Structure 1
């Protein structure tokens, strides 16, 4: 099977799993995306291991898992927001543990430990704000968010392969083009308008604004991950998804887009 068809098949299975998880139940949503968060943290840990730094992977996974799961149950109304305070002693534990490791790079070890949950678990926890409003679960906004993410990726890929001539950021990602970025932007705005016709929680103007945020920040997320991978001389963050690389390769746009979309919804008073 050549790379194109492998990419298509993997993409279909991937989309079915994501949409099915968020549609079935709030706990199937939690299971799917916590799996993504866990695998993403482990992939990021492998990137960190490519340099002479000794991050505390165990504490990184515990810290990221706690924040992601606790924020889910807080927003669902199952537990009090006071549970989130326990993230402070978990962070302190990282510093205290480093005292006993006798490493020559304690500052780098601590920094690389904390960046793993910060880069992966924290951005994904913002997705909870898209599915919970007043403790009630509704997956439609999250579905719309991912359709915009996929529209941007697909548009950039299709237009970039066919018409891409001017490099967008050659120092970081020599294959990405301005034509592809513009194609992804136009595709995303088109899907945003279509979404406004079917998901009526937001007006067409708000959907277009979210489309702009998703396209721009998704592109930055892609470039930042390329920068991180280039810094440790790897092509993909992992090999879990044939034809697509790793989990972080597939969700790099979410890392940057989700917090900004959530912030926008707060600013327009959709939430809180």
Structure 2
């Protein structure tokens, strides 16, 4: 039944995702804001289950501000936007008349973490942006696929048993190898970024993708929940699907833009 739900979600979700990335502009912005809203809602729910009291309204406003800045100013005023978000949280905390460093830390973590979605917009604005996002998403999915099958057939040594008992070191290595090979194949077939660049990017995405997965597992374990939500049949919540993307799209953006590959 779970596999059936996963297939149904994929059949409808993947074409929609490709269409949004292709058209970019306002449709992609709306989609990113929607994912941010739903993902932050799940984050807040998990942190409340863990016994924390995040500053909800300031987090939503701050996240929309960070993503909006990326769409309008292309990240040129990102530091100033983060400063405003920080001040919003401080003001909210003071108005509650209950100073708590934990509340501040959890709130700031949530809004910065989910606002990493802004890099989808920034990556789309680069030359060959559509193909770059497609590559980042595909390589991220290959991390999960390679790790799953490698862990299933060869896994014996636990990777992080206190965080995610089912993940193995063999699975992690398999995810890295499959992702790097896929990146090289994409270089020769879809988006030529250079063989060495493809290998390095594949390595970075495979490592950060698995870190992103483990980080979300840590959040869920802290909240004592199996999934971040139940929005997507067979896939759990929004964070369950975008946990790795939140880490892999930013590194793809910086890798391509800093090295000026295009």
Pair in the same fold by TM > 0.5: yes
Q: Label 1:173 to 1:124 Cα distance change in 2 as closer, same or farther (>3 A).
A: same
Q: Displacement, 1:142? A: 0.7
How does 1:13-32 map onto structure 2 within 5 Å?
A: 13-32=12-31
2:4 is matched with which residue? 5
Match of 1:204 in 2: 195
Offset at 1:62? 0.6
Tell me if the contact between 2:201 and 2:252 (Cα under 8 Å) persists in the aligned partners.
Answer: yes
Q: Once the 2 structures are TM-superposed, how far is the Cα of residue 81 of structure 1 from its aligned partner?
A: 4.0
Higher mean displacement: 176-185 or 246-255: 176-185
CA contact (8 A) 2:220 2:227 kept: yes
Q: Does 1:226 align with 2:220?
A: no
Aligned counterpart, 1:130: 123
Instruction: Find out whether 1:96 has 2:91 as its counterpart.
Output: yes
- Tell me the residue number matched to 1:139: 130
Q: Partners of 1:32 and 1:3 in 2: how far apart?
A: 25
Change in Cα spacing, 1:12 to 1:159, as seen in structure 2 (3 Å) is farther
**Alignment match, 2:67:** 68
- Contact (CA 8 Å) 2:117, 2:246: kept in 1 or not? yes
Report the Cα offset of residue 35 of structure 1: 1.5
For structure 1, which segment, 140-149 or 202-211, has the greater mean C-alpha deviation from structure 2 after superposition? 202-211
Q: Structure 1's 258 and 85: CA in aligned 2 closer, same or farther, altered over 3 A? A: same
Secondary structure class of the residue paired with 1:120: helix
- Mind listing any 5+ residue stretches in structure 1 that lack a counterpart? none
1:189 is aligned to 180
Structure 1 residues 250-265: aligned runs within 5 Å: 250-265=241-256
Tell me, yes or no, if structure 1 residue 152 matches structure 2 residue 151.
no
Q: Does 1:33 align with 2:32?
A: yes
CA distance in 2, matches of 1:258, 1:243: 24
Distance of aligned partners of 1:185 and 1:87 in 2 relative to their CA distance in 1, 3 Å threshold: closer
Is the 8 Å Cα contact of residues 67 and 84 (structure 1) preserved in structure 2?
A: no
Instruction: Please list the CA deviations of residues 191-241 of structure 1 after superposition, one character each: whole Å capped at 9, or x if unmatched.
Output: 212211233451222122111111111111111111121112111111111
Matched residue of 2:243: which SS?
helix
| CA distance in 1 between partners of 2:193 and 2:173 (Å) | 25
In 2 relative to 1, CA 159–245 (structure 1 residues): closer, same or farther, beyond 3 Å?
same
Number of residue pairs matched by the alignment: 262
The separation in 2 between residues aligned to 1:201 and 1:109, in whole angstroms, is: 46
Which whole-Å CA distance do the structure 1 matches of 2:113 and 2:78 have between them? 21
User: Post-superposition shift, 1:249?
Assistant: 0.9
